[in-house]
Homo-oligomer: A and B are copies of this chain.
């Protein structure tokens, strides 16, 4: 058994990590860390998880290095940055779910994470990226920085165009729609049920740091290019799951059949990416309700000749494929397990 620790155990991603590790045949939960709720059992913090693990939340010290083989940091970026610095050479594997080490371009990091001091050398040691695209780099990697939830959806949606077909994209306009669990638990009036229920909240209308990540990552890619990428993000009236709509303008000539084939080919060996035709099932897909609770990312590509564009839609569960599930997936790869180990649950629908 691989010994796993979770820091940030009382948060949404922390709870989801506990859920997934508890169900995992090869991971054993041996440490729960956090600065709030110290001394509490998981069952007191997460009403769904009535499990007795014999663990309570503890402050993180260097002693954790003796207790875990892999440490998941489900912490705010400034906390992750500090913990990573402290533990980088002591814990065999650190998987950071925050944004602390996602962006490599210094100006971009400072623009989007002004409160997280840049640690250039340490950042360079982190492997970043959606596992479907950088699997080889993850094997044995000691430090892994997980993409943001929107960034995962977006990258999985665009990669077949740039990395797969090698297209040069002139303009990519991204519209992101997310449920209320996307922003973590913050005690703000706007996040109370009366105001979030029924809302279409334009909370980031002129840019989102997850888009900056994607630009930063795909720009370093070997083939294809994106000249302009802009994003707007909205909170809608459900809890779990997000959809990114990418409106792609390119001079390249493509058609629906070619696009569909390219996406199928690109994700042939990737069991967590489901390339779906828009009308293949009872309801139009992709729709995040169809991946709820699972590690799938559903992707649909549509040629829109009237609009002179390609429409790429990606849906995922922001707490699973967008956070805890992907964290377990990269840990699986890191330790040489089949990447789907412990992640074979089907989506729960309707819910």
Contacts and interface: CB of A to CB of B under 8 A. Distances in A.
B230 A309 contact: yes
A293 interface: yes
Given A200-B288, A236-B236, A348-B348, A194 B190 contact: no
Contact of A302 (B19, B48, B206, B292): B206
B292 A349 contact: no
Interface stretch (A121-129, A136-144, A158-166, A275-283): A275-283
A155 interface: no
Interface in A159-190: 171, 173, 175, 177, 179-181, 185, 187-190
A55 to B, nearest CB: 15
Interface footprint category on A: 35 or more
B206 A194 contact: no
A180 B198 contact: no
A230 B304 contact: yes
Contacts of A173: 173, 247, 309
A213 B99 CA distance: 43
A29 interface: no
Nearest to A275: B50
A240 B300 CA distance: 27
B230 A308 contact: yes
Contact of A50 (B230, B274, B282): B274
Interface of A: 12, 15, 19, 22-23, 43-51, 171, 173, 175, 177, 179-181, 185, 187-203, 205-207, 228, 230-232, 234, 236-243, 245, 247, 249, 274, 276, 278, 280-294, 296, 298, 300, 302-304, 306-309, 311, 313, 315, 344-351
